[in-house]
Chains A and B, each alone.
Chain A
Amino acid sequence: MRNDPNMSEYFFIAVFAVVALVVVAGILILSAVLGPKNPSPQKTVPYECGIIPTEEAKGRYPVRFATIAMLFIIFDIEVVFMYPWAVALDQLGFFGLIEMFLFIFILGIAYVYIWGRGGLEWD
């Protein structure tokens, strides 16, 4: 690690991560140690009243969820390209703006195609 001036900003992230870990672990341990436990068959049922479950919660999921997930990943990658572009835009100038417009235009074609074929509809 070099003497990097950017490194000190990670200190807050490190503090945040440690606090998050301590709080989560603390709540779990405290509730396990201090909480009263009197299990009975009635209490372990998922729903206190209503239909008694007959099978496991694991079921098959419609493929639409996976389609949405795939489209999400691709748009996510698109947004990741905009991140360094936005940070460096003041040095890139007008040329950088044109580049990003071209990028968004090409992906806009895909967006219009998906929209037109009903890829974003839920049926």
Chain B
Amino acid sequence: MELLIFYPIAALAVVLALFVVFNKSPIGSAVSLIGLMLCLAGVFIGLSAHFVAILQVIIYAGAIMVLFMFVIMLLNLKDDDNVIWKSREGNTLLTVLTGFLVLGILYKIISITLSADSSKPAKIMESFGTTAEVGKSLFTTYVLPFEVASILLLVAMVGALVLAKTKID
């Protein structure tokens, strides 16, 4: 049953990821990326990570993609400008090197996953991954990181305004 749900979502995610890479129009890529985020939210739900799935929708599909859209519109890529991405000297070496690095990371992850003993899964409580459980541990055990996060957001807000509104004073 769970594979019956997982495989269509995973297949759709892969197809949408290919759309992101191969789409000619940047906006089309961004819209495919939104679909990909929603598919990933479905995968998280399959893993009982309810709160992470909600974050995936609210933060990634909602907020981060808005910023992507604005960057696309501010850069204002015309169709002729796509040529610069193709013929950049010296990029081939970097691309191949990055590919090998990612391959190494994937090899490590897969070898660890395969060597794990899946016959004895770790015991987790019934309410694992629910929003209430995340809230309980975030506001008791991890309360200091939570309050520090508010200062991080304060710095980000002031920084965004200072960078964007240099002419106001």
Contact = CB atoms under 8 A, between A and B. Distances in A.
Contacts of B149: 81
B161 A114 contact: yes
B153 A119 contact: no
Interface in B1-44: 1-2
The SS class assigned to the B binding surface is helix
B66 A99 contact: no
A6 B53 CA distance: 13
User: On chain B, which size bracket covers the interface?
Assistant: 35 or more
Contacts of B67: 66, 69-70, 73
The SS class assigned to the A binding surface is helix
A69 B64 contact: no
Contact of B70 (A6, A69, A83, A84): A69
Contacts of B66: 69, 72-73
Contacts of A64: 164
B160 A59 contact: no
B109 interface: no
Interface in A73-119: 73-74, 76-78, 80-81, 83-89, 91-92, 95-96, 99, 102-103, 106-107, 109-111, 113-114, 117-119
B148 to A, nearest CB: 10
Given A99-B143, A106-B150, A6 B161 contact: no
Given A67-B164, A67-B165, A99-B139, A78 B153 contact: yes
B55 A107 contact: no
B111 interface: no
Nearest to B169: A117
Interface string A46-63: 000000000000111101
Interface of A: 1-2, 4-7, 10, 58-61, 63-67, 69-74, 76-78, 80-81, 83-89, 91-92, 95-96, 99, 102-103, 106-107, 109-111, 113-114, 117-119
In the complex, the 4 A-B pairs of residues with the closest C-beta atoms, listed nearest first: A88-B135, A84-B135, A1-B2, A67-B164
